[in-house]
Amino acid sequence: MIVFLFMNAKQLRVEVGYGYEDVLTDIATKYLIESTMLPLLRSGQTTAAVEAAARAFQENLAGKSTTRREPSTLRSELPGLRAELQQRAVLVARVWLHGTVQIWLILGVVVLGSALWMVMALSSAFWQLGVFVQRATCQHDISGAKETFGNLYATLVGLGQAVLLIFLLGTIGEYFKSGTGMFGGGGVNLFW
């Protein structure tokens, strides 16, 4: 197992080989790092962070882990989520820009078609919502509320599905590959 610290980028990468992957899963490793290293790294205590992580990993491997994950808040998670999103956006851009012409054409058609569908579907749903709101305020008629909000909900779900499809096609599945660690096992990327 190796822990890489990239101080300028405020990023760390944990590589877990096959020998420890059954005990130190990606999720367990992430929780151990979040509860031991990240608070110390955020306060500038690099040596203490590495020592705390080493103790936590040794305890976990010996089956004596006492590390409990503190409940996280949205405020504490936002920097890491933002950094992870930026990293994945770079991955999508890299795959997109270095792909072959066929991939460009397929992705271009999917993105263009999805974008047009999203604009048309959202316009229609919001138009229908506007008509409903006007009718409800002026005429005090709330009939059709279920249909209006159901249509808006279905459109937003479809929008989410389209964004996910574009993301999956854009990364060509790279985001979800398992065993992507350099040493055969999994790996964890975190930012502080």
Q: In the chain, helix, strand, coil percent, each to 5?
A: 65, 10, 25
- List own/partner pairs for 70-75 with CB under 8 A and 24 or more apart: 70/35, 72/34
> From CA 29, how far away is CA 186, in angstroms rounded?
10
Question: Is the per-residue pLDDT at 179 higher than 80?
Answer: no
Query: Of the CATH numbers 3.40.190.10, 3.30.70.100, 3.10.310.50, 2.20.28.10, which one belongs to the domain with range 2-70+179-191?
Result: 3.10.310.50
Structure-derived torsion over alpha carbons of residues 51, 54, 56, 57, reported in degrees to the nearest 10: 170
Question: Is the per-residue pLDDT at 176 higher than 50?
Answer: no
- Model confidence at 66, in pLDDT bands (50, 70, 90)? low
The domain limits of the chain are 2-70+179-191, 95-175
> From CA 160, how far away is CA 157, in angstroms rounded?
5
Question: Is the per-residue pLDDT at 154 higher than 70?
Answer: yes
Residue pLDDT, tens place only, 92-143 = 666 556 655 566 667 678 778 878 888 898 899 999 999 999 999 999 888 8
At 67 the three-state DSSP class reads: coil
Beta strands per DSSP E along 56-139: none
What's the confidence (pLDDT) of residue 72?
Answer: 55
The full length of the chain comes to: 192
> From CA 73, how far away is CA 63, in angstroms rounded?
28
What's the confidence (pLDDT) of residue 50?
Answer: 92
What's the confidence (pLDDT) of residue 51?
Answer: 93
102 sits in which H/E element:
helix 101-139
Residue pLDDT, tens place only, 125-136 = 999 999 999 999
Cα end-to-end span (Å), the chain: 20
The pTM of the full predicted model, rounded to 2 decimals, is 0.41
